[in-house]
Structures are given as C-alpha cells and as structure tokens.
A and B are shown apart, each in its own frame.
Chain A
Amino acid sequence: MTSVIFEREIAPVLRNPLGLVFTVAQPLVFLLLFGPLLGDVPGTGWQWFVPGILVMTGLFATAGAGWGIQAELQGGSMERILVTPVSRASILAGKTLKESLSLLAQAVLIVLVAMPLGFRLHLLPVLAGLALLAVFGVGLGSLAIALAIVTRKQPETFWGAHQFLLFPLVLLSGVLLPVEGGPGWLATAARLNPLTYLVEAERALFAGDFLDSSVLWGAIGAVLTAAVGLTVGARAMRTAAL
C-alpha cells in the first residue's frame, strides 16, 4: 500500500519535473553567490561548500512536504484516504519516500551544477553521501508531516515553527561558514546540534574519504533522525482525523 501512496505522490512531480528545478533555485542561489566568496576562507572551497548546501536543501525541502499535507488536511483528501483500508504507517511512508526521492533528485542537480565550477566528483563516496542524505530526508520529511498535522488547526503556525526550528539548526551546523574557529560557545552549540554530524559526514564523503570517523557518526545521526521522524510521524498520523 505504501507504493500506491508513493505513486500517487510522485505522479505530479514526474509530469512536471521543472517544478523540482524551481524548488532547487534557492539553494542554487546560495551555491552560486556564496561559493565564490568562500574561495579565500581557509579550509573551505567547493568540496566543503556543496555538501553543506545539500543538507540545507534537505531542510528547506521539508517545508514543501508539510505544506502539501496541510493542503490535504484542509481540503478533505487526507480524510478520504484515512477512511480507506490503507494503514496510517503506509500513508506516512509513501509520502516520506516521495520527499526523500525528490530531495535526491535536487541533490543530483546541485552536484551537476557545481561540477563545472570546480567541484571534483569522487563518485562512490558521493553516492554514499547522497544515500545518507536520502535517509536523513526520510526523517526530515516525517518530522515536517508531523509538524503539519500538529499545527493543522492553525496552519500559519506551521511556517513560524518551521523557521524557528530551522534557522538556528542551519546556522549552528556550519553549513554556510566554518564554526570550528569560532568562539567556544559557538563550537559547543555546534557540537550539540545533531545536524553538525551529518554535515561533517557529508563533507568527508564529498572529499572522497570513506574511512573518516565522522562518516560513522553521520550515518548514526541520519538513521536516528529517520527512526525518530517515522515514530513521531506515525504517532501524529493517528491523530490526523481528530
């Protein structure tokens, strides 16, 4: 049944793949605007910057997942599906899978744009990095869906909560600027930010380094995010009709 939900969700994307290009426009602007500026910052460069942009794309793409489900909750199509025999878990899994795959497509697009700019592609580690991103995307997608369900009676609070949670996470994970050299409190905040581990793992992989210990931590973080996301999402899904 998960596949039926997934097919339903992916059909509009496949019919209009250009839509993905538009959603990827924002991270591309970051890439093209900030990328060249980072040339002089030591320890950065394209190998450093592209993975950060991909993680950021994942975070912002989830807003779309939440928005989509909110429209379905308000409109009534969610209710219709909740009355069919499909399990709540399958609804969540199907929708989340679509979000994760869309994120993957966007990530590939960003990598392709970055390549002529000087990004060196280490194929196997980058594929591993993308897989990690997809797992992380499953967690993020479910969390966004859960947030949308929790805020369904006041749809506008979804955006507020989403921004409130995302901006500190992004800024304190060192996505845009290296935080290692910053003051002690900043480094501590970054250590406490789960996102930091994923960003570091992606950076190691995009630099072609499979064996860095950060890869293990990033993988644990991504799997944990997915597990927590799916649990919270499934719980929220059961209350969606109330």
Chain B
Amino acid sequence: MISARNLTKRFRLRRGEVVEAVRGISFDVHAGELVAFLGPNGAGKSTTLRMLTTLVPPSEGTATVAGHDIRQDPAGARRAIGYIGQGHGAGDYFRVRDELVTQGRLYGQTRKQARTRADELLTVLDLEPLAKRTVSTLSGGQRRRLDIAIGLVHRPPLLFLDEPSTGLDPQNRANLAEVIRRLRSEFATTVFLTTHYLPEADALAERVIVIDHGRVIADDEPARLKEQTAKDSLDDVFLELTGRSLRND
C-alpha cells in the first residue's frame, strides 16, 4: 500500500544553509496494516507524511502510495488517499455540513451522494447537532471530529493521520481510537499515523516505525521492541532509542 524508497527532503534556508529533514527513508506498508510513525519533534515525521501525500515533492527518492507514484502521478495518488493533517482541515467561515459536502464533491461525488455521505459521517462522529454551525464556533474536540469526518468522506483505502489526537481530552481520544479500529475492521483501511501518545500507538498499532534525525531507527511490533530494549512501556523504548536529551532541531 505504501512503498517508500530512499525518500529524502532537503530544505534550503536563507544564506544558503541546507537542512536535511528526511535522509533516505525506505519502508513498506502492506494493505490493511495499521502503522504508527513515531519520532521526537523535528525528526522528520511530518515532512515524510507531506511527501507521501504529495504536498511537497521529495528532493531524492520516491514512493508509491495506493499504487500511484507520488512523483509521476501525484493526481492519481491524491484520488486514492485520505489525509488528516495537524492543522484544522475545516475552514473557519464555513458550515459544518457544507464542508463535508464540499469535500465529497471535490472527490467527484454528485451533490446527492455528497449530502448522503455527509449525513452518514455526521452521525458516525456525533456531529449531527452541529451540522449547521459555523466551524469557528466549535470546540477543539468538535473541530477535530469534523476534521476526521472530512478525511473519511471518500472512503480512502489508505489514510494518513498527522498527530490526530494532539490536544484531545481522553473521551475524544478514545472516540478517535474507536473510529480508527472500526475503519480497519469494517473497511480494511490501511492506516498510517503519527502520534506523541505512545500508549495509544501501543494499543492501536501492530507495527511502529521510529525515525530520528530523518532516518528510520526502528521498525517492528511494539511487543518486540519492548523485548529487544528490555523496557516495559513504549515510552521507555522510545526514550531508549532516541536518547533523553532535549532537542533543539
């Protein structure tokens, strides 16, 4: 479902300084897998995700997502994937249901299909009473649920989530985990998510890829990683792998 080969991203800053955010990452994700992509702040997670979702072109290397090469066929890739970014997907000045309908139509659904799908998702994500509200009036948790609903509109076989649980209370986090589990059990969706809540990664994902300084430093089942590092929690595994010192990058 995902096949990344030597993905590299260099950013040119002013005064000719070059930052290598991602340094030759390669990995494969099979259909139906749920993979957590972990790493400290600035490790290159978001940049990798932004390359895989065609938002930024790689400096070197390439990747295939859902059968489409991100360099040769970015439009095809976009049609086949879903992406729930770190920011707010829903625009401030629009109404909740309108944003869902717009999203469906951007994926080629007819007006009628888009409306039906929007209503389904409003129910699934408990947003029905908010359908006519303007997005800017929603609470943080409500907005996040809407962003997730927007990402699911076209039933993508491959879904990317960038820190979906950041800033959510335990109820909303549990709700999110439930939605993700159901995506897998009911629709066999492949899920690739980044997170900082390691217990969540532990509970949800059957595989974690840890990156640091733009490179993959571990790629295995959570249980195996704990075994290898002789640690009890994924938090400790993470600190063992990436070091305990604070990062500035």
Contact = CB atoms under 8 A, between A and B. Distances in A.
A81 interface: yes
Interface stretch (A23-31, A49-57, A68-76, A157-165): A68-76
B50 A241 contact: yes
Contacts of A75: 87-88, 91-92
Given A75-B87, A75-B88, A77-B89, A8 B55 contact: no
Contacts of A77: 87-92
Contacts of B86: 76
Contact of B87 (A7, A76, A85): A76
Interface stretch (B21-29, B30-38, B95-103): B95-103
A86 B85 CA distance: 17
Given A4-B105, A76-B87, A82-B55, A12 B93 contact: yes
Given A4-B102, A4-B105, A83 B55 contact: yes
B78 A85 contact: yes
Contacts of B85: 76, 79-80, 83
A11 interface: yes
Given A4-B105, A11-B94, A242-B56, A84 B88 contact: no
Interface string B107-141: 11000000000000000000000000000000000
Given A76-B86, A80-B150, A81-B106, A8 B92 contact: no
Contacts of A8: 91, 94, 98-99, 102
Main secondary structure of the interface of A (DSSP, over half): helix
A241 B53 CA distance: 11
A1 interface: yes
Contact of A83 (B53, B95, B147): B53
A242 B56 CA distance: 6
B78 to A, nearest CB: 5
B54 interface: yes
A80 B83 contact: yes
Interface string A1-33: 100100110011001000000000000000000
Interface residues of A, number: 25
Interface in B37-62: 50, 53-56
Contact of B98 (A11, A72, A82, A242): A11
A1 B87 contact: no
Nearest to A3: B105
A52 B180 CA distance: 57
Contacts of B81: 83
A149 to B, nearest CB: 14
A85 B50 contact: no
Nearest to A82: B55
Given A79-B85, A85-B78, A1 B106 contact: yes
A74 B85 CA distance: 12
Contacts of A83: 53-55, 78, 81, 83, 85
B72 to A, nearest CB: 16
Nearest to A84: B106
B54 to A, nearest CB: 7
B78 A76 contact: no
A211 to B, nearest CB: 44
A7 B106 contact: no
B55 A76 contact: no
Given A80-B89, A241-B56, A85 B79 contact: yes
Nearest to B160: A83
26 contacts: A7-B102, A8-B99, A11-B94, A12-B93, A15-B95, A71-B91, A71-B92, A72-B91, A75-B87, A76-B88, A76-B89, A77-B90, A77-B92, A80-B83, A80-B90, A80-B151, A83-B53, A83-B54, A83-B81, A83-B83, A84-B103, A87-B75, A241-B50, A241-B55, A241-B56, A242-B56
Interface of B: 50, 53-56, 75, 78-79, 81, 83, 85-95, 98-99, 102-103, 105-108, 147, 150-151
Please give me the 8 A-B residue pairs with the lowest Cβ-Cβ distance, nearest first. A76-B87, A80-B89, A77-B91, A241-B55, A84-B106, A83-B83, A8-B102, A4-B105
